[in-house]
């Protein structure tokens, strides 16, 4: 179905190959996961299959990609659309019409399908992803997960042989992401489509796929079943394997029969002996907030349009030394809550006190020394000419001496592995690098309270680890808005769970994340049946389980 023969690709004005002599054959009906660190070449790989690379971006190629007998690089993308459908990362930026069924029909209209056939296909495509009930709805009224399902449905309607999905769940909360992935698996199972899915949050997808490709530095470094991975292969992988798989790799000599476990259920069976015979019994410390109150919110109500409250009756104290993860579904009010914490928006009712003083009574310079905030989208932060200027910007606003600025900037750039790019224009960097520059540009001033809104989105495993260790070492009080349960389990001491503008749970992470239906880490779900053997039922991370089993 798809053949990469010695395929290489260089983006315009680049001497480094984005893809370097790739040789892969994909059979009809296969479900492939394409993964790798950010900037490693996985999205470029996908785009070579429908000819976006090089036809849309330009650049140099070597070798060829043959898709159903057609040379993809020499065929226009809109012609390739007859056999290859594609779904992108951001649901906002791929839908072009105003209504669901029209969106589903858009591709067929471009390909001049007759009306009777469009009627039939729209019906089928909506059914295939279970969104027939949304048919008449306006696109702007849909949630992120629903929009992604519309995009998938729209790609399916033209009956492509191949479906490419480029991180389709990265903007979604865990529940919506699961819904979208189940739909993708169903399409592969029931319609027999060849599917290539790019994803770096492997715990969500690894168990669904037949085969996994790992691309790093433009090279294919693994091609095989995800169940056949071994610790010697994964040593240098910069992606986060599912925690249950990471744990299982430590006991690989004890795993037999079905290969490496990829889900909680599989790991429960494979690691039965290990988990039912813990070497130690440890009750994990539940760290309580002990410092002084640095931020206090009392009965806060907030509304953007003075009609519907986005936050309802929020009361929350942040104590010095707190490491808080704020979690919740999309549109539950998480970002609004943190914007209130540094006075970017003003509450409709209630009181926000920052270090005992009303937040609006602080000057801007006081505010930025007390609360630093890094937003989700790094592009919003970057407006200076070089990375160095970007990172030193806030220090200059605080009138820090030039010597100290130089020292602090160098230290943080090295820590985030962007020192080599210090003279580069920030917008020329890759997405992951831009995100690190944005984080560094706020972290450098060491604010009393540091707020990060989805900082790990698009970050590979090692960068996440680096960020967490840096936050633990350098930040005084940190608040992280995240969908990433595993990151929350590793980073936080306290978890605040929001739902529809209300705090539904606020407490020690072990109390909030243990035994939770939606927001529970894999490891916690894994060890529940074995708690009777002595493993603490509020264990959350691989490292904790290793501590009692090794």
Nearer to another protein, 174 or 378 (CB): 378
Nearer to another protein, 253 or 305 (CB): 305
Quick check: 517 binds another protein (CB under 8 A)?
no
From residue 382 to residue 421, what is the string marking binding to another protein with x (rule CB under 8 A)? xx---------xx--xx-----------------------
Q: Which helix (H) or strand (E) holds 64?
A: strand 60-67
Nearer to another protein, 34 or 527 (CB): 34
Quick check: 135 binds another protein (CB under 8 A)?
no
Of 95-103, 127-135, 402-410, 416-424, the segment contacting another protein by CB under 8 A is 95-103
CB contact set of 171 (below 8 Å; sequence gap of 6+) = 89, 90, 91, 144, 148
Of 9-17, 82-90, 294-302, 477-485, the segment contacting another protein by CB under 8 A is 82-90
Q: Do residues 111 and 82 make contact, with C-beta atoms less than 8 angstroms apart?
A: yes
Distance of CA 237 to the CA centre of its chain: 17
Q: Do residues 187 and 197 make contact, with C-beta atoms less than 8 angstroms apart?
A: no
Quick check: 159 binds another protein (CB under 8 A)?
no
Quick check: 113 binds another protein (CB under 8 A)?
yes
What is the rounded CA–CA span in Å between residue 147 and residue 150?
Answer: 5
Report in angstroms how near the CB of residue 91 gets to another protein at its nearest: 11
Task: Select the residue interacting with another protein from 38, 44, 81, 536 (CB under 8 A).
Answer: 81
Task: Select the residue interacting with another protein from 58, 74, 96, 186 (CB under 8 A).
Answer: 96
Q: Which residues pair with 498 in a beta bridge?
A: 328, 503
Quick check: 67 binds another protein (CB under 8 A)?
no
Token representation of residue 375: 């937003």
What is the rounded CA–CA span in Å between residue 418 and residue 388?
Answer: 10
254 to 224, 279, 383, 549: CA distances (angstroms): 21, 16, 53, 13
Quick check: 334 binds another protein (CB under 8 A)?
no
Report in angstroms how near the CB of residue 494 gets to another protein at its nearest: 23
Nearer to another protein, 295 or 382 (CB): 382
The structure tokens 């179905």 sit at: 1
Quick check: 14 binds another protein (CB under 8 A)?
no
Report in angstroms how near the CB of residue 80 gets to another protein at its nearest: 8
Task: Select the residue interacting with another protein from 13, 15, 112, 401 (CB under 8 A).
Answer: 112
**Number of Cβ atoms within 10 Å of the Cβ of 138:** 11
Report in angstroms how near the CB of residue 227 gets to another protein at its nearest: 32
Of 116-124, 317-325, 353-361, 479-487, the segment contacting another protein by CB under 8 A is 116-124
Kindly give the pairing relationship between strand 293-303 and strand 219-224: unpaired
HEC per residue, 145-206: HHHHHHHHHHHHHCCCCEEEEECCCCCCCHHHHHHHHHHHHHHHHHHCCEEEEECCEHHHHH
CB contact set of 119 (below 8 Å; sequence gap of 6+) = none
Nearer to another protein, 206 or 452 (CB): 452
Nearer to another protein, 153 or 289 (CB): 153
Report in angstroms how near the CB of residue 418 gets to another protein at its nearest: 17
Quick check: 39 binds another protein (CB under 8 A)?
no
Which residues 266-295 are close enough to bind another protein by CB under 8 A? none
Of 3-11, 118-126, 175-183, 307-315, the segment contacting another protein by CB under 8 A is 118-126
Task: Select the residue interacting with another protein from 2, 18, 72, 108 (CB under 8 A).
Answer: 108
Report in angstroms how near the CB of residue 232 gets to another protein at its nearest: 38
Quick check: 110 binds another protein (CB under 8 A)?
yes
Task: Select the residue interacting with another protein from 5, 75, 99, 330 (CB under 8 A).
Answer: 99
Closest by CA position to 204, among listed 260, 262, 250: 262
Q: H helices of 313-401, where? A: 334-341, 364-370, 387-397
Nearer to another protein, 285 or 305 (CB): 305
Report in angstroms how near the CB of residue 45 gets to another protein at its nearest: 15
Quick check: 82 binds another protein (CB under 8 A)?
yes
What is the rounded CA–CA span in Å between residue 168 and residue 176?
Answer: 11
Q: Do residues 181 and 205 make contact, with C-beta atoms less than 8 angstroms apart?
A: yes
Q: Which residues pair with 61 in a beta bridge?
A: 9
Q: Do residues 510 and 517 make contact, with C-beta atoms less than 8 angstroms apart?
A: no
What is the rounded CA–CA span in Å between residue 341 and residue 477?
Answer: 13
Q: How many residues form the binding site for another protein (CB under 8 A)?
A: 68
From residue 350 to residue 389, what is the string marking binding to another protein with x (rule CB under 8 A)? --------------xx-xx--xxx-x-x-xxxxx------
What is the rounded CA–CA span in Å between residue 136 and residue 112?
Answer: 22
Q: What angle do CA 20, 26, 29 make, to 5 degrees?
A: 150
Nearer to another protein, 277 or 365 (CB): 365
**Number of Cβ atoms within 10 Å of the Cβ of 269:** 11
What is the rounded CA–CA span in Å between residue 278 and residue 266?
Answer: 19
What is the rounded CA–CA span in Å between residue 232 and residue 510?
Answer: 33
Which residues contact another protein (rule: CB under 8 A)? 50, 52, 56, 76-82, 84-86, 88, 90, 92-99, 101-102, 105-115, 118-119, 122, 138, 140, 154-155, 158, 339, 342, 344, 364-365, 367-368, 371-373, 375, 377, 379-383, 393-394, 397-398, 427, 441-442
């Amino acid at each position: 179905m798809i053949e990469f023969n010695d395929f290489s690709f260089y983006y315009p004005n680049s001497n480094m190959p984005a893809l370097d002599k790739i040789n892969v054959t994909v059979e009809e009906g296969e479900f492939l996961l394409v993964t790798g660190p950010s900037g490693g070449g996985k999205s470029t790989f996908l785009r070579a299959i429908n000819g976006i690379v090089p036809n849309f971006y330009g650049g140099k190629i070597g070798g060829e990609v043959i898709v159903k007998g057609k040379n993809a690089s020499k065929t226009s993308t809109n012609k390739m659309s007859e056999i290859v459908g594609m779904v992108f990362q951001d649901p906002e930026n791929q839908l072009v019409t105003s209504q669901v069924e029209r969106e589903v029909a858009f591709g067929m209209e471009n390909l001049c399908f007759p009306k009777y056939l469009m009627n039939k296909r729209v019906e089928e495509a909506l059914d295939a992803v279970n969104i027939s009930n949304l048919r008449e709805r306006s696109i702007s009224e849909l949630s992120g997960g629903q929009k992604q399902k519309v995009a998938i449905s729209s790609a399916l309607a033209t009956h492509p042989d191949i479906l490419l999905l480029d991180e389709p769940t990265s903007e979604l909360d865990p529940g919506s992401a699961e819904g979208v992935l189940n739909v993708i698996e169903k399409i592969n199972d029931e319609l027999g489509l060849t599917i290539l899915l790019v994803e770096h949050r492997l715990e969500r997808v690894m168990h669904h796929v037949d085969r996994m490709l790992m691309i790093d530095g433009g090279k294919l470094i693994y091609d095989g079943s995800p169940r056949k991975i071994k610790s010697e292969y994964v040593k240098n992988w910069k992606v986060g394997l599912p925690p249950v798989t990471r744990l299982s790799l430590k006991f690989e000599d004890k795993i037999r029969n079905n290969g490496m476990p990829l889900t909680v259920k599989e790991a429960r069976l494979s690691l039965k002996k290990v988990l039912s015979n813990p070497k130690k019994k440890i009750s994990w410390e539940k760290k309580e907030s002990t410092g002084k109150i640095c931020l206090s919110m009392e009965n806060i109500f907030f509304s953007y349009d003075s009609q519907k409250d986005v936050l309802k009756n929020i009361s929350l104290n942040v104590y010095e030394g707190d490491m808080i993860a704020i979690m919740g579904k999309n549109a539950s009010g998480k970002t609004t809550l943190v914007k209130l914490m540094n006075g970017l928006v003003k509450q409709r009712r209630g009181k926000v006190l920052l270090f005992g003083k009303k937040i609006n009574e602080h000057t801007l310079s006081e505010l930025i020394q007390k609360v630093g905030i890094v937003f989700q989208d790094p592009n919003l932060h970057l407006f200076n000419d070089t990375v160095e200027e970007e990172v030193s910007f806030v220090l200059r606003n605080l009138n820090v001496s030039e010597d100290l600025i130089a020292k602090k900037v160098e230290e943080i750039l090295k820590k985030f592995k962007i020192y080599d790019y210090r003279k580069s224009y920030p917008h020329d960097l890759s997405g992951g690098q831009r995100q690190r520059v944005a984080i560094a540009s706020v972290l450098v001033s060491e604010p009393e309270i540091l707020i990060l809104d989805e900082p790990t989105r698009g970050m590979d495993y090692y960068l996440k680890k680096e960020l967490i260790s840096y936050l633990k070492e350098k930040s005084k009080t940190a608040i992280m808005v995240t969908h990433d349960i595993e990151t929350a389990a590793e980073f936080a001491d306290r978890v605040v769970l929001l739902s529809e503008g209300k705090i539904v749970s606020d407490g020690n992470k072990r109390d909030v994340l243990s035994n939770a239906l939606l927001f529970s880490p894999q490891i916690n779900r894994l060890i529940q049946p074995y708690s009777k053997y002595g493993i603490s039922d509020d264990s959350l991370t691989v490292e904790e389980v290793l501590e009692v089993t090794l």
